[in-house]
Structure 1
């Protein structure tokens, strides 16, 4: 039964993480992060850190996988937001 639960977790992890990647790619390619909200990105980043810690504490491979990738993606968006400021 645990394999079934973990499979659903990995499926959710892949889908939600994949849904986030086009925004990272678009922002990187256009060098335009003006439509992204800095407070939202900071809150989201902190939330992902908390989810990753939680995943480690409960030893959930799917949560660790998804939140590790999303942490990198959200860090990149934060970096782009701070770097690609329009003069």
Structure 2
């Protein structure tokens, strides 16, 4: 269905599912990225984002407050952008 698209936007893709199902979702996201697809993941779970993303955009009140590579992102650095 959506696998033919070059861009996929997922809003809280693992909310409300068990750990095993989360792992399956992560595998699908990684496979699609490996195929050259752009995968945008919207999530409030920082550990999840750090595990599957290359780059993180921080948004608050409808505005982009910052951008960072996963290697630079910490809870503290993200909170500084939100204050």
- Structure number with higher helix proportion: 1
Q: Which has the larger radius of gyration?
A: 1
- Structure number with higher strand proportion: 2
Structure scoring higher RCO (CA < 8 A, sep ≥ 6) equals 1
TM-score normalised by L of structure 2: 0.33
TM-score normalised by L of structure 1: 0.32
